[in-house]
């Protein structure tokens, strides 16, 4: 279970980073060119970040549920 706790912390940090990269007008998105006021469409990097966030959220949820199972 200790390994699962460590994995959950790592996944949580990755999830925080992915959310910060996606924020419009704030966070780290302006570092990578996301802060401009020009027309934006979903490019491949934005789509990748969105799907990576969804996948990481699902993994985080599954790990959280696994940690609820008591050891016998």
Per-residue confidence at 57, pLDDT binned at 50, 70, 90? very high
Tokens of 68: 């609820």
What percent of the chain has a predicted confidence (pLDDT) above 70? 74
Where is pLDDT greater, at 27 or 8? 8
Residue with tokens 């996944």, as numbered in its chain: 11
Quote the distance between the C-alpha of residue 53 and its chain's center: 4
Per-residue confidence at 65, pLDDT binned at 50, 70, 90? very high
For residue 36, pLDDT over 70 is answered with no
Mean pLDDT in residue range 43-63: 93
For residue 28, pLDDT over 70 is answered with no
């Amino acid at each position: 279970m200790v390994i699962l706790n460590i994995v959950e912390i790592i996944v949580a940090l990755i999830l925080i980073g992915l959310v910060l990269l996606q924020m419009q007008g704030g966070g780290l998105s302006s570092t990578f060119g996301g802060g401009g006021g020009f027309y934006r469409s979903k490019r491949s990097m934005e789509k990748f970040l969105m799907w990576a966030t969804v996948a990481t959220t699902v993994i985080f949820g599954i790990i959280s549920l696994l940690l609820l199972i008591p050891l016998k």
